[in-house]
Amino acid sequence: LRQFPGCRNCLHPAHRTKECASTFVCRECEGRHHTTLHLPQKSGSTQTPVATGDSNASKAPGFSGTSVSPEVAGVLLGTVVALIPDTHGRLHRFRGLLDAGSQYTMITSKCASQLNMVCKPYQGAISGVNNSPLHNIKGKVQLLFNSNNPCSKLKTEAIVVPAITPPLPQTPLHSSMWEDYRSYQLSDPDFTEPGPISFLIGADLYPEVVTGAPIVIYEDGPRLIETVFGFTVVGRFF
């Protein structure tokens, strides 16, 4: 642990603890470190118990064996795994993100290269939160997604960018409740493990991708949403 260069509060490897923007603290002692790093109190010391709420309420099981905190532990972004054909028709499996808040579908330069795609120039401007411009746009390509239905294929023009997001989720998520989610046919069964994001499906395809209403498994857990690729897990968890 002493050799770990990242944040000891959220366990993200890209920044240090003093730079962490997370408002969450240890659930055991409210210290500025992750709950899984909490050391037991020495003999004779006292420790304030963590309130778990009404035990009869429909709550999600606590993470890593800890008590359920009244604060939000995090938000899961909906990931899916899709088959995308390259220029020779060979199918490749990639992991991506659903984002109805994005006007465009995007893929990474690495993904486009693996698919042997040649980028066409893109002259438009793309901005994000607070109207911040998106830099280093590599171009655009025609992209085809194969769904679980052989007769249904989703085609769109995708913007090619160097990267979309760091691996998601940022850290592994451990909880017994995930097994209840895995009883459904998930598009991304490894949604609790950090993994690369190669594409983002935006609002141009989102209405065609989502096929069902959210399903509630736990009151305090994320929702299951059915898509043409299988179910995805989206939302807050406590």
Q: How many angstroms separate the CA atoms of 210 and 227, rounded?
A: 4
Boundaries of domain holding 26 = 1-39
The CATH number given to whatever domain includes residue 151 is 2.40.70.10
Are 220 and 103 within one domain?
yes
Q: How many angstroms separate the CA atoms of 76 and 228, rounded?
A: 19
65 lies in some domain: no
Number of domains the chain is built from: 2
Are 132 and 21 within one domain?
no
pLDDT digit of tens for each residue in the chain (238 aa)? 455 566 776 666 666 677 676 666 676 777 777 666 666 654 444 443 333 333 333 444 433 333 333 445 688 999 999 999 999 999 999 999 999 989 999 999 999 999 999 999 988 777 766 667 777 889 999 999 998 877 778 999 999 999 999 999 989 998 888 999 999 999 999 999 999 999 999 999 999 999 989 999 998 899 999 999 999 999 988 7
Q: Which two tokens stand for residue 109?
A: 């330069």
User: For residue 2, how many other CB atoms are within 10 A of its CB?
Assistant: 3
139 lies in some domain: yes
210 lies in some domain: yes
Are 10 and 89 within one domain?
no
58 lies in some domain: no
Are 7 and 117 within one domain?
no
Phi and psi angles of residue 99, each rounded to the nearest 5 degrees, phi first:
-145, 95
pLDDT score recorded for residue 217: 93
Are 1 and 97 within one domain?
no
Q: Are 59 and 68 in contact (CB under 8 A)?
A: yes
User: For residue 235, how many other CB atoms are within 10 A of its CB?
Assistant: 15
Are 149 and 84 within one domain?
yes
Are 100 and 171 within one domain?
yes
Q: How many angstroms separate the CA atoms of 107 and 199, rounded?
A: 4
Q: Are 203 and 106 in contact (CB under 8 A)?
A: no
52 lies in some domain: no
- CA distances 175 to 2, 113, 178, Å, are 26, 37, 6
Q: Are 159 and 102 in contact (CB under 8 A)?
A: no
Are 89 and 29 within one domain?
no
pLDDT score recorded for residue 146: 92
pLDDT score recorded for residue 211: 93
pLDDT score recorded for residue 31: 76
pLDDT score recorded for residue 53: 36
